[in-house]
Structures are given as structure tokens and as C-alpha cells.
């Protein structure tokens, strides 16, 4: 089955700086890659996703890049703000449509230092 590795497990950055979280996946058949943000005690919420037919997607301060050959994808957050502090999970799906169950990474605890 699919295996998703996520790094780092904890990331501390100064407010206003950029943050990058990286994930690798094992199954070359995976073609849907969402990123979820989870605040303490809250539900995971989708912040951005990318499908395998594109290499990059951007939404305001958030961007995701995908390298299918190397089987890795990354989340980029620019101009970080205190409200960006949370745990971020990457995930992969075999179907490409997101309808299949997702395989998640172990999460990155992002800390924004004031």
C-alpha cells in the first residue's frame, strides 16, 4: 500500500518568514495530493490540493509543488502569520479524485514565533 513520509515533524519560523514542509510518497499510481491544517482539538481542514497533471498550484500565501518523477510534493507558506500556527498533514490518494481513502503523513507542527 501507499506510504507517505513527512518532514520536518516540527518547524519554527519567525513571523513574516516562509515555511516549507516536504512529503514523499511510495506508490507511483497516486495522483491526488491534498494538504490539511489541523488546529488543536479541531477537525482537519483542506487548505490546498494538487493533482498529478499539474506541477504547481498557488492560493494567495500558500503554494504546493509536485515532482512526480521524484515522488515528492511540498507545501510553501509565505509571509507567515500567527494564525498559521497549527499541525499540517500531507496526504496521497490512489484514485486521483480524492474519493478513495487518503494516506496521511505524520504531520508537521508549525510554530510561528512573534
Binding residues (CB under 8 A) for other proteins: these are 4, 6, 34, 36, 42-46, 49, 89, 91, 97-107
Indicate left, alpha or beta for 107 from its phi (over 0: left) and psi (-120 to 50: alpha).
left
CB of 16 to other proteins, least distance (A): 28
Nearer to other proteins, 75 or 91 (CB): 91
Nearer to other proteins, 16 or 54 (CB): 54
Nearer to other proteins, 78 or 104 (CB): 104
Cβ atoms of residues 110 and 84 within 8 Å? yes
Determine the Cα–Cα distance for residues 86 and 77; give it in Å rounded to an integer. Answer: 12
Nearer to other proteins, 43 or 53 (CB): 43
CB of 97 to other proteins, least distance (A): 3
CB of 30 to other proteins, least distance (A): 14
Cβ atoms of residues 46 and 38 within 8 Å? no
Strand 108-113 relative to strand 10-14: parallel, antiparallel, unpaired? parallel
Contacts of 53 (CB under 8 A, 6+ apart): 31
CB of 53 to other proteins, least distance (A): 13
Amino acid at each position: 500500500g501507499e506510504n507517505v513520509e513527512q518532514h520536518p515533524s516540527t518547524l519554527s519560523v519567525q513571523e513574516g518568514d516562509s515555511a516549507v514542509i516536504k512529503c514523499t510518497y511510495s506508490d507511483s499510481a497516486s495522483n491526488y495530493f491534498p494538504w490539511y491544517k489541523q488546529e488543536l482539538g479541531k477537525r482537519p481542514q483542506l487548505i490546498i490540493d494538487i493533482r498529478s497533471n499539474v506541477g504547481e498550484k498557488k492560493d494567495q500565501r500558500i503554494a504546493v509543488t509536485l515532482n512526480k518523477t521524484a515522488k515528492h510534493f511540498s507545501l510553501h507558506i509565505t509571509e507567515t502569520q500567527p494564525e498559521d500556527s497549527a499541525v499540517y498533514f500531507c496526504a496521497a490518494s490512489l484514485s486521483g479524485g480524492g474519493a478513495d481513502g487518503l494516506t496521511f503523513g505524520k504531520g508537521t507542527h508549525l510554530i510561528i514565533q512573534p
